[in-house]
Amino acid sequence: MRDAGFPVRDIRQILDSWRNTDVATTLIRERRRAILGDIEAAEAQLRALDPPDLRVNADPVPVTRTVFPAMDVISLREVLPDYNHEHHL
């Protein structure tokens, strides 16, 4: 029973009512349902770990390569408390 994942409480209940097979049958059915639910949840987690197939699931994005002439660039950098302060720059 422990190998099947039954808690001690359920094992005790089965042993206390060994003449009543309905108790064992009910607990076994519930345990089987719980295990199947755990399997479904684990399979969903495994699917979430699969890398997405970008070629199938995404529309192709057009890529354009452009060459700009050389130019001087100035950059201003400051840490802002949040996105709403961006206009201060």
Average pLDDT on 69-77 reads 82
pTM beyond cutoff 0.95: no
pLDDT at 34: 94
Tell me the per-residue pLDDT of 5-46, one tens digit each, with 9 for 90 and over. Answer: 999 999 999 888 878 889 889 999 999 999 999 999 999 998
Alpha helices in 1-89 (DSSP H): 8-16, 21-49, 54-57
Phi/psi of residue 68, nearest 5 degrees: -100, 150
Token pair 């700009």 in the structure block, residue: 68
* pLDDT of res. 58: 61
The predicted structure's pLDDT at residue 75 = 77
* Average pLDDT over all residues of the chain: 85
